[in-house]
Amino acid sequence: MKTLVILGASGDLTGRLLLPGVGRLIASGRAPGLALVGAGSDDWTPARWQKRLTESFAESLGAGEQSSGIQELASVQKNSRYQQLDVTAKGELGAFLGTVEGPVAVYFALPPAISQKACEVLKKSELPAGTRLVMEKPFGSSSASAHELNETLAKLVAEDHIHRVDHFLGKSTVLNIIGLRFANRLLEPLWNGEHITKVEIIFDEDLALENRARYYDHAGAGRDMIQSHLLQIMAIVAMEPPATLGEMDVRSSIAAVLRASTVGRTGDTDPGASSRRARYTKGTLKGKHVPGYLSEEGVDPANDTETLAEVEVYVNNWRWAGVPFILRSGKALGRNRKEAVITYKPVPHLPLGFTGTDSPTRLHIGFGPETLTLDLDVNGPGDLFTLDRVQLETELGSDPLLPYGEVLEGVLNGDPLLSVRGDTAEDCWRIVEPAFAAWKSGAVPMQDYAAGTSGPAGWSTSND
């Protein structure tokens, strides 16, 4: 790939996550010969754009090394340009891309509705040869809008040239789960509903709103995390063994899981019974006072936005029949917890005579840092008839790139392995839409939890 074009280059996402990822990728020497072009609706001068690049690249450029990658990054910044652009104006984006040296990766760091409109006015003939389109989540706002966007994109480039970015699907996360499952004969025979009682995928943040009301108050925890990131992780945890690590095999295995998935058991007439939502009230977080969500600047109470959400998804196939996959994400919680937890069923019979607590075997797969923890019951120390809990811990392999750098490397190398395929993007919406409809109708009451706590006391996941 020759040029990375970022649309929405003056936005928060670009400065906070995307450009630092680009900087680390180039500085590592893994994106040679790349040019960077920014475009946005704001009227920025060249100096203002250079200031943004300096701020975003500061960590990479300040590494104290004079490697070829760092020199390359300095060169990319020096030669980068910014152009004010209305991407929804007919012919404007196409004309702009005509001034860019191809092949091009066009990154839509824009709200879904703007991305949709921009692609509608774009013509296939206006794209440089080999163009790749990179779409930021959320991909659409419903299964219908995601399908509409898929059809629009298909008129411009082939599916394998469309990269739907889920930065949670970094190379380390995906390959660590696949490696753990399919390289260990000890685990895979027990990786099913015969032995596993539940799977929890948790993304609890010890951060509050952090000035993101403009986006978050219209998304909430359900749309921000569960609909996209957590369903994708669930699919990797639950998928059948792929023949290879090629994108077709892996992404087809992911798609098969999502096609079989529903919120609640098959035939449930009340999807709201398998979902919960809550919102933080004032409290103390990391020693600082946090106002209640409804008192945060930019929040509209009429949006009825949840800051903690949980759904029970069932994968309706032979391997996982009856096993709940509990997906939970929230903000302003007392503990930063990002992990998948696999809980095994109790042993059929524990010999009489043992004392102590017979706790379930649990496997924890941590995300950022990448860790693996196995909870076991063992004898002693001291009284050998007493069972005690131990944890076996290790670190898993990780990439020094930031998550956006990992995903962008796949884009620039033309590998869609870490991108979300079109059909799965639609299925993710299809799975959660019944729960979201139940929330909107008020069938699922909004609960409260104080900032800095573990969530509503009645939720089992709040008491782990």
Q: How far is the C-alpha of 90 from the C-alpha of 67, rounded, in Å?
A: 43
Residue 419 CB-density burial (10 A; 0-12 exposed, 13-18 middle, 19+ buried)? buried
Q: Is 229 annotated as catalytic?
A: yes
The answer to whether 204 is annotated as binding is no
The answer to whether 12 is annotated as binding is no
**C-alpha count within 13 angstroms, C-beta hemisphere, residue 451:** 23
Residue 346 CB-density burial (10 A; 0-12 exposed, 13-18 middle, 19+ buried)? exposed
The answer to whether 123 is annotated as binding is no
Expressed in percent and rounded to 5, the helix, strand and coil fractions of the chain are 40, 25, 35
Which among 161, 229, 349, 364 is annotated as catalytic? Answer: 229
Pair of tokens at residue 145:
């809008």
Residue 443's CB is within 10 A of a number of other CB atoms, namely 14
The answer to whether 432 is annotated as binding is no
Pair of tokens at residue 378:
């063992």
The answer to whether 2 is annotated as binding is no
The answer to whether 224 is annotated as binding is yes
Strand 81-84 relative to strand 35-40, pairing: parallel
Q: SS3 for 328?
A: strand
Q: How far is the C-alpha of 391 from the C-alpha of 370, rounded, in Å?
A: 16
The answer to whether 331 is annotated as binding is yes
Q: How far is the C-alpha of 434 from the C-alpha of 142, rounded, in Å?
A: 11
Residue positions forming the annotated binding site for substrate: 167, 171, 205, 224, 331
Residue positions forming the annotated binding site for NADP(+): 41, 86-87, 137
Catalytic residues: 229
Residue positions forming the annotated binding site: 41, 86-87, 137, 167, 171, 205, 224, 331
